[in-house]
Every structure is written in structure tokens, then in C-alpha cells.
Structure 1
Amino acid sequence: MQSKKRLRAVFVIFLICLGMVVAKLFHVQIIDHELLKGRAEANWDREIPFGGVRGDIVDRNGDLIVGNRLAPTLYFMPSQNREVKSAATALASILNVDAAKLEEKMAKREVMVKIAPEGKNITKEQADEIALLQIDGLYTGVDFARHYPNGELLSRLVGFTGYDGNGLAGIEYAYDEILKGTGDRIRLYTDAKGIPLPHVDDGFKTGDKGASVELTIDLRMQEIVEREMLQAMEKYDATQALAIVMNPKTGELLSIASAPTFHPAEYQNVDPSIYNRNLPVWMTFEPGSTFKILTLAAGLEEKVIDLHKEHFYDPGYVMIGKARLRCWKREGHKDQTFLEVVENSCNPGFVEIGQRLGPKKLSKYIKDFGFGESTGSGIAGESKGILFSEKNFGPVEQATTAFGQGISVTPIQQVQAVAAAINGGYLYRPYIVKEITDDKGKTLQSFGPEMQRQVISEETSKQVREALESVVANGSGRNAFTDGLRVGGKTGTAQKVVDGVYKDGDYIVSFIGFAPADDPELLVYIAIDSPKNSIQFGGVIAAPIVGRIIEEIAPLAGITSREGQIEKEYRWGDSLTHRVPDLTGMTKGKITSQLYTYRIEWHGSGEQVKYQLPVAETLITVDDVIHVYTE
């Protein structure tokens, strides 16, 4: 009886244990099946990564600035190949590397070896040739390298990526987290020895492409600007040069360039000071006479001068205490209106404007125009410049600041400030990124004009524009005159400071110009550092460059009219010019009878002129030929 009870108890315990085993099996194989399978696969899998597809960088019109190209990378599993030496020898001949070093890397006691840098970012041709070898344990992962369809264009702005695909400089660095993509991955399942598992299918993980960045840059304008800048570098044997084109009504940077340039894919071959310094935002120097635009604007706003009714006498210098501050013209400009002070870029005249303003008001306008702080353009490496402190802003410092000497500013600060002086008085923040979109074209973030404050009135701004248009027609900026376009602007010539001392014969020459002068849509700034082979004046070197740039990019911005243009004043040494008469519709006899003295070349056998080149009202020299075409 006792034994039966024991047997019954044992049987019950057996049933309970059996039930627990069955329940556990059910839990493991049914409920936790996917979880445990995933854990097992995680122990078995070997991932071959595909490089993340980095987002594109495009210009304002959608044209590609930086994209991607296919660049495969090799991976090797030593456990799957017993002939590592022969495999390394075969690979080395295609990759053009040392076979012994490659064998040493491939023989490492690792599950998977990334053959880098020897087998990273190889060409498609190399990948095809390697595939024909059919080397056991060798896998090709899809990778991408940056593609630069425009070569060196915009290199110091966009920057470059490094060995691991991360941004290291420029836009690539500043927007790295946005541009970076997560790559696809192939999952291979093997045992501990690296032998493929026949009962488990290989897998694939899909990554995400990085977002694309659309810049405010116009590639067509950029090509023109960089061409002119590089030609100037060669012609004048300059140390470096920079350029900025901005829409003064919005703050959009349409072109930004530095020279010398480099190819982003070969950044290792150039001095780091080149790719680490985006000159338009990094470089600081005395602005010289381009700064006089802001002194002029402040003087007009405070009504301390009248451009047309007031006169100023310039003997060639001005005494501030015991300091003699000279005009660039040693003998002086003598009696002038204040408009002529601006046209002649007369230093003593601007010292007078600064004194009438007083130190507090002059300092206030300088800060209101954005000097002394970063513009917030979003471009990496931007400097703040250097201004006199309030306690060090004495009479001499006030005088030199009025004509752009003794302070240090960045080119982008100058462009921002001058834009405010000519656009109605509104200080806009310069910006370089227009939009960020995902790989499906959906807008993630957009940027637009950001007006910070109004510095001067619209009436004052109009007077500034008129004065600067007169500078180009009749003053120091005459070499920027462009027939058919109303151009205004100002020259700048600044002696370089080395170790706190002005260096004789070493200058930065510049010119800032805008068009149309009555309603500016383009603002162009050029600075050439240490030019040679020429007289070192901004009006001689930089002004004609800006004139040519404006002439070429104006049609791209839709600017064509010359209505109201001031005629360029003739000076001794200038070529004699005249406006082309309208000859269309006239007969040969009538043209002859009116005693036109122009050189005319006839095309066609008809009597009446159908059209002509150049067209009517074009400015030509006396030696130019007018071509007329008859019916």
C-alpha cells in the first residue's frame, strides 16, 4: 500500500516535470523563437558593409557640385582560404602594392579583414579583374567616394571628406551629420571557423542615404568669378585672392571664392593652410578705402555733410594732434565738393566726416553695420575682426578708422555692411545654405533672408548709391565702368601689416561694386593680396576685374537695362569713344549724305539697312567698325 502511494507520487512528479519540459519547449520554440533565432544569428553572422551614400551638394539651380561615385572595398575571411600567400600575390599585382605586406594583413587571426587602404575605393576595372580570380574568402563591399564634376571649382568652400567618409573641411564638415548616410549591409552566416552555414539564408540590411544640401551659390557665376580671379593671380603674381558675390537685397551668397585652389580628392597634396582657410570669412585685414562707404553713409544719415553744396579743401594731409595723416595724392585734391571727396577717395575729407560725427556716433555706426562680430553666415571658420576698444579710440584712431585704416575686418563683414548701405539701409545676414532635402526630395529645412536691423534710411541709402555710381563714372573706380549697366562702387588699397608694422610696397588691393546702381541686385567684392607687375591701386587692378565680372553675370541675374546711366567722364589718356547711331531702315545714300564719319562695313547687296552690329547706343571707340546688313 505504501509502495503504491510512492509510485503514484513519483508518477505525478514525472507528469509535472514532463509538463514543465513541454511548456519550456513550447515557450522556446514558439513564443521566443524569433528572439532566440536572432541571438543565434547574431553569433553566426558576418556583415560586409556597403558605404553610406552621402547626400549631394547642389547649387541654387539644382546643378551638382559634389556627388558620389562607386568605389568598391575588399574584405577577406582568412578561415575560408588556406592559400593566403597565393591569394595575396594575385591581388597585389592588380592593386599595385607590396605582396608581402598584403599577405601579412590577410593572414591576421580575425574573422574578417578589411583590406584597407590597399583595397579601399578601388576602381571598377580593378574590381572586375579581381572578380575573375574567384579567390575563396574574398568579398567585395560596395563603397562610395565623393565625385567632383567641376574639379577644383568651389573647393575651399565645399571642403572634402576623409578616409572614413566623414567631412573634414568646409560645407562637408559643417553639415557632416546632415550629409552622412547609413550604408547597406550583406549578412553572411558562418560557424566559428568561418564556414558558411547551409541551413541559414544570407541577409541584407538597407541603409539610408544622407540628406542633400542646396547652396545659394550659382555655378555659372562661380565659374566666371573663379576664372577672373585665377587670371588675376597669374597676371599679377599675387600671393592669394578672394571674391564674394551677394544679392544685397537678401543676403544670399551667389559666389564665394579663394585662390589658390586645390582638388578636394587630392587634399593631401596641398598645404593645410590652403584648405583650412576660406579667405572670404577667415582672412582679416585693414579694409582701406572700401570702408569709406560706411563713413559716408553715417555722415549722410546724421546730416553732417552735403554732397553737392558743401566744399572741402585738401592740402594733401590733415593734422590730428601731432600726427600728420596724408592723402594718397601727395599734393592734395585742393577745393572739392564732398561728392568729389568721395569720387577722389580723399583721406582728409573722410577724416573731416569722421570728426563731424564724433567718436561715439562713428563707433555706433561701425557696430550697427555688423563689424566686430561674426555675420553668422553658417560658413566654418569665420573670424570676427578687430576694432579699437573704447578706451583706445582716441582722436588719431577715430581719424584713421574713418578712412579704413587701423582696424581689421573680414571680407564678408564688408560685403554685409556695404549691402546695407546700398539696399535701403537694411542689414541682412549673409547665408550660404538655401535648403536641406531628404533622398525623396522632401524639404527638411529651408533658409531665407534674415533682416537684422535698419541702419540708415532709404533716402540716405539712395544718396550713397548715387555717390558711388559717380565714383565709377567720374572717380577712382572708372576702370569698373561697364557700358550698358549702371555700376556703382569703391576702390580699396590697404598697406599690409606684418608684426605690427606697415610693410613697404606690400598691399591688398580691392574693389566693391554693385549693379544696377539705382536698384542693386548684385554686389561683387574682389581683393588681391600682394600683387606685382603693376601699380598697386585697387582702381587699377581690382576695379576692371569687378567690371568684367558684373558685365558677364548681370544677364544671369536678369539685369540688362542701362537707362539713366551716367556717361563716363573723358580724361586725358582715355580712348575717344562715341555712341553708335541707329542706322536701321536708312539707305546707303542717306547714310553717306549725312556725313557719318564712322568706319562702316557693308554686308549684302540691298539698299536699306536691316540690322547692325553693334546695336544702337553701344559705346565704341573711334577705331571700331560698325557692320550693317542690308535687305
Structure 2
Amino acid sequence: MIFIILLVMVAGKLFHVQIVRHELLKGRAEANWDREIPFGGMRGDIQDRNGNLIAGSKLAPTLYFMPSQNHDLESSAAALAAILKTDTAELTEKMSQKEYMVKLAPEGKNITEEQADEIARLQIDGLYTGVDYVRQYPNGELLSRLIGFTGYDNQGLAGIEYAYDEFLQGTGDKIRLYTDAKGVPLPHVDDGFQTGEKGASVELTIDVPMQKVVERELQQAMEKYDAAQALAIVMNPKTGEILSLASTPTFHPAEYKDVDQSIYNRNLPVWMTFEPGSTFKIITLAAGLEEDVIDLENGQFNDPGYVMVEGARLRCWKRGGHGQQTFLEVVENSCNPGFVEIGQRLGGKKLSSYIRDFGFGESTGSGIAGEAKGILFSEKAFGPVEQATTAFGQGISVTPIQQVQAVAAAINGGYLYRPYIVKEIKDDSGKVLLSSSPEMRKQVISEETSKQVREALESVVANGSGRNAFTDGLRVGGKTGTAQKVVDGRYKDGDYIVSFIGFAPADDPELLVYVAIDNPQNSVQFGGVIAAPIVGRIIEEIAPLAGIEKRKDQLEKEYRWGDMETHRAPDLTGMTKGKIGSKLHTYRIEWHGSGEKVKTQLPKPDSLIAVDDVIHVYTE
């Protein structure tokens, strides 16, 4: 009976060990036997608003070596070194380490697919190829200062890659090899595989086709004007969505080690602070209209070329002054004394209150790494002179994105929207982890005041200082800016930041474009001369991408002495060579095709063309 009882107990114990606790004990045993080959985590993609890839991942294997499984280290190292193009002695020393597994880095990290295939054919004992990834950039340098880059271990080090690294970082797969203490594979245990997860994808509000246009224009400006740097922002003023964010000079994210840190660490549209100059006058104008201290059409102001404030002589950019003007002409002419008058009518407290209501002096909350807050005068330091200079954009320091946020509120009906750059973050299964939508923070001016601001700024482009931004068929409004740079508390002679902020259509804005060029050379340093035409070209090219069609109800550009003479292109479609030759001999016409009748033409009929422009006609 004792024997039977003991036998039953042994059988029970065996059942408990083999069946009940089988998985637990097996796991403990395998933990003693296993050797893991880690696979790199596949990082999530960064895409634009339409799903276009900005930064993705591509396969780049990494080599691992188990010394105990190889009995001919020297020949193996020599064969491997020839493919990896590295020193044989150094590789042999690394492969001879007294460790169960050696990561052959940097020689064997992120090798090419061709190298991996060639190494696989060698069949080297103890050599394993681990899956790894590196970032790929289908658009090259595009958006580099916004998206940033990843480091040696594929972690985000700058830009979007850094700010959203916790979402983008993936967990890699793992191969589990089962060996004894000497590293010899166990024949009775199958190797295991542990599946990881791909990182989440970040969808930006950026529009890649728009970004290409903007970066091309900035690059051309850098070369033409030999500028130190340049920046641009394109935003939807009705929502706060940033459609383009650009800084030049740029760099390739995969080659960040080859450029100066000041380039990849500074995302200029949010990092750079400077005196805004005349673009800030939009805020003073909006406040003056909202408080009803000026009448654009009927109010009068005389500008002698300067204004005296507390013994300080504050000059207009036009030394002789603009003389008697309406306040609409004050805006068109960007007259400093006129804006000092508006600021004085508002009073220091009221002007300061509006400036802060428009979002200056604090971060916009855009979600972009490295955003600065700017500098405003304190209440105690905001005396009559400071009040006067602030009214025309001097003596304070703001960021470009703050200006864009504020001007958007001035033209969109008075609503201050938070700018944002990340639209959505989704995991690999499509589950939304984070989503952004338009966030209206407050209404700062009335819709009627905003309408007046839009009309005044459209007149600036048609008749005033912003005439170089005029675009035929698109109702463009905007304001120039020219700010002298401050170095060690003093203005630096000949060193300016010229800018222009424009929007279209002027009656119902869908696009807001800001461009600033730092220290341009080879030209007169005025925002209306350098930055305005760049903004005009950008708006004209990206308008179709935003669904904006050309119209005929815009303010006609007023001809002034020195302007290029223009006229409307005639409609030549359907006409024959003989008819065109007999009636339109004054036009320069270039024929394309061998037919008699004109099928299409460029520029299109009724487009504004210069007197010496060529009309290209295409026959049937």
C-alpha cells in the first residue's frame, strides 16, 4: 500500500511538472539556453497631408557573429573583410572576442542588400544577418529642417523625428537561437521568432507640391541676392494648418554630420526672432479700425517725413514725407508717422492689449520643436517713444510664426487660430493615436474690421508698396516689411531682413504666405522690391493646388512711371496664320506645329503680358 501510494504521488508530481507547469518550466529552461539576434525596429513613416512619403524606412541589415560556432576565424574574417571593405586584422580581433555574440559594428552595420546577398553565399559558420533599417528620403533635402533626422541607433535627434520619437519608434523582431553554454546549437529545440511592431505613422499638414515650390523660390532668392538665410511659411488662415514651412540653407538628413549644427538645430520660422518692421503695421491698423480711431477713406494725415515724440525724431522711410494723405494712403505708402498717429490715438494700454491678444509675447503652441516666444516691452518700459516705435514694428522682437498667426486673425474674420503641423498619428493597424483639428483661441477683432483690413491690404498690392506681389487674376493682399538688424543692442548699418506677407483671394483668404530674406545683397534692401515678387510667384503657382481659380473682379494695378507697360493678351484660338499676320503684326508670335489654325496659346487669352513678351501659339 505504501509503495502504491508513493507511486501515485510520483505520477502526480510528474503530471504536475509535465502538464500543469510545463510552459513555465520550459520558459525558464529556454531562458537559460536562448541567444537573441535583435532586429532593428521599423520606424514609422512621416507623410504629408495627401499621403506622400517624406521620410520612410528601408532595409539595411546588420551582422552578428557567435565566435564559439566558428572554427576558422582567420579565413572567415578575411573573406568578410573583402566584402565589407575593411581591415582584416581589425575584423579578426573583433570576431575573436570572448563573448557569446558580437555585433559587427560599425563595419557590418546597415550594409547594402548586395553585400548581404554576397555574404550569405559565403555560408560562414556563426555569422547571422539581423534585419535593420535606415531612414530614406524620397525628396532629398526637402523639409529637412522641419523633419530633422535620426542617429546611429535610429532614434530621433532633431525636428519632427525628435518631437514625436515616442510614436515613430518601432519594436524590432527577434530570432531566438537555443544553444548550450559553449554556443553549440541544441538539436532538440527549434529556434524561435518574436514579432515586433512597426512605429506609428505621422501625417503632417504639409503639402509636398507646395513645399517644392516654396523651397525652389527660396533657393533662387539665396543665389540671386547672396543672402545669409531665408524662410517661408504658408498657412490656411481659416484653420491654422501649416501647408509649407521652409528654411534655407538646407541639408540632407542622412548627412547631417557634414553640416554646421546651427543649420539643423534652428528651424527658422519658429526659432528666429527679429524686429518685424512694417508687416507689424497690420496689427496696428486692425486695432485702430476696431477701436474706430481712424477712417480709411475720409480721415486725413499730413506726413512731413518725420514725427517728434518726447524729443525723439522718428523718420519715415521717405525722407521728404508723403504730404497730405488719407489713412488708406498711409497704409498703401507704409508711412511710419501715420502709424505713430494711429498708435497715439489708441493709447499705450490699448495698443499693448491688442498686441498680446493677437498672440505676441507667447508661444503659438504649434507643436514644432524649438519655438521661441519673442520679446515685448514690459508695462513699465512702454513709454511714449516705445509705443510710437512699436506701432510701426520697431523695438520689439517676434517670430515669423507669431506674425503669420496674427495676420491670419486680422484677415479671416478676426479669429485667432492656433497654428499646427501634425494632422494625425496612426499605428500600423490604422488606429488613431493622436489627432489635431482647427483650434480657435479667441476672436480679437470683428468681422467688419477684418473686412476693412483685407480691402486695405489688397489696395497695398494694387496701388501701394506691395505692387510687386500683384498677380493677374488672383486677388492678392499683403504688406511689406523692412527691418534693420540689431547686434549687441545697436542697429547694424546695411544689414536688413526684408519680408512680405501676402494672402489670396483678398475677399475670402485661403492662403497666407510669409517670406523673409536675411541680409540680401545685389539689390535695394526693401521688402517690396525683394520679398514681394517672391510671394506673388508662390501664390500664383500654389493657388491651383489649393483649388483657387483666377477671376476678373480684382483691383487693377495702377500704372506708375517706371512700371513695365502691360496689356491683355488677345485671343488667337481658331485664327489662321494669314489672319494673324495681317492684323496682329505688332505682337511677337512664335509658332509651334505645321497646321494652319491655332488650337491653343500661351499665355492664355486676356492674361496680362508685357509689351515685349512672346505669345506662343500651337496649331492643329
- TM-score category by the smaller chain? over 0.9
Residue 433 of structure 1: aligned partner: 422
Is 1:339–2:355 an aligned residue pair? no
Spell out, residue by residue over 1:52-100, the C-alpha distance to the aligned partner (whole angstroms, 9 max, x if none).
1111111111111111111000001111113223322222222122222
Tell me which of 351, 358, 367 is aligned to 1:378: 367
What does 1:525-540 correspond to in 2, within 5 Å?
Answer: 525-540=514-529
1 CA distance for matches of 2:492 and 2:272?
18
Amino acid corresponding to residue 38 of structure 1 in structure 2: G
Query: What one-letter code is carried by the residue in structure 2 that aligns with 1:557?
Result: A
Structure 1 range deviating more: 559-568 or 504-513: 559-568
- Percent identity of equivalent pairs: 83
Q: Structure 1 residues 599 and 154 mapped into 2: Cα distance closer, same or farther (>3 Å)? A: closer
1:517 positional shift: 0.8
CA RMSD for the aligned pairs? 2.2
Deviations 1:21-80 (A, max 9, x none): 433322212211111011100110111111111111111111111111110000011111
User: Per the alignment, do residues 194 and 425 of structure 1 end up closer, same or farther by CA in structure 2, a change over 3 Å counting?
Assistant: same
CA gap 1:591/1:191 in 2 versus in 1, 3 angstroms:
closer
1:486 aligned partner: 475
**Which of 333, 357, 382 in structure 2 is aligned with 1:393?**
382
Matched residue, 1:424: 413
Count of aligned pairs: 620
Residue in 2 that maps onto 1:518: 507
**Cα pair distance change 1:239/1:587, threshold 3 Å:** closer
Q: Counterpart of 1:503 in structure 2: which amino acid?
A: K
1:401-550 equivalent positions in 2, closer than 5 A: 401-550=390-539
Query: Structure 1 counterpart of 2:86, which letter?
Result: V
Report deviation, 1:626: 4.7
What TM-score results when the alignment is normalised by the length of structure 2?
A: 0.96
Distance 2:287 2:566 in 1: 37
Residues in 2 aligned to 1:282 and 1:299: alpha-carbon distance in whole angstroms: 30
Please show how residues 92-111 of structure 1 align to structure 2 within 5 Å: 92-111=81-100
**How far has the Cα of 1:322 moved from its partner?**
1.4
Change (3 A) 1:112 1:293: same
Q: Which moved more, 1:22-31 or 1:460-469?
A: 22-31
1:281-296 alignment runs, 5 A limit: 281-296=270-285
User: What is the distance in 2 between the residues matched to 1:595 and 1:177?
Assistant: 66
Choose which of 609, 615, 619 in structure 2 pairs with 1:620: 609
Q: Who is 1:5 aligned against?
A: none
Match of 2:292 in 1: 303
Larger-Rg structure: 1
1:336 deviation in Å?
A: 1.0
Per the alignment, residue 75 of structure 2 pairs with 86
Q: Classify 1:618/1:117 alpha carbon distance in 2 versus 1 (closer, same or farther; 3 Å).
A: same
Within 5 Å, give how 1:239-258 maps onto structure 2: 239-258=228-247
Residue 319 (structure 1) aligned with residue 308 (structure 2): yes
Partner deviation per Cα, 1:396-437 (whole Å, 9 max, x = no partner) = 110111111111110000000000001111111001111112
Moved more, 435-444 or 53-62: 435-444
Q: 1:328 maps to what in 2? A: 317
Deviation at 1:440, TM superposition (A): 2.9
CA distance 1:114–1:307, change in 2 (3 Å)? same
Per-residue deviation at 1:16?
5.3
Where 1:53 maps in the other structure, the secondary structure is coil
Q: 1:128 aligns with which of 117, 137, 142?
A: 117
Displacement of 1:623:
2.4
Q: Deviations over 1:161-190 (max 9, x none)?
A: 111111111111111111111111111100
Counterpart in the other structure of 1:193 = 182
Distance 1:602 1:160 in 2: 50
3-state SS, counterpart of residue 379 of structure 1: coil
Cα distance, 1:234 vs structure 2:
1.2
Match of 1:165 among 138, 151, 154: 154
> CA–CA distance in 2 between the matches of 1:163 and 1:588?
66
Is 2:540 the counterpart of 1:551?
yes
Give the match's secondary structure for 1:351: helix
Measured after TM superposition, the shift of residue 593 of structure 1 is 9.9
Instruction: Indicate whether 1:572 and 2:561 are aligned.
Output: yes
Cα deviations by residue, 1:355-413 (Å, 9 ceiling, x for unpaired): 11001110111011000110011111111111111111111110111111111110000
**Among 64, 80, 86, which residue is 2:53 paired with?**
64
Task: Give the distance between the partners of 2:594 and 2:225, measured in 1 at CA.
Answer: 49
Structure 1: tracts of 5 or more residues without a match: 1-10
Aligned equivalent of 1:37: 26
| Cα distance change of structure 1 residues 140 and 391 upon mapping to structure 2, 3 Å threshold | same
2:338 aligns with one of 349, 352, 362: 349
In structure 1, what is the Cα distance between the partners aligned to 2:254 and 2:289? 50
Aligned pair partner of 1:235 in 221, 224, 230: 224
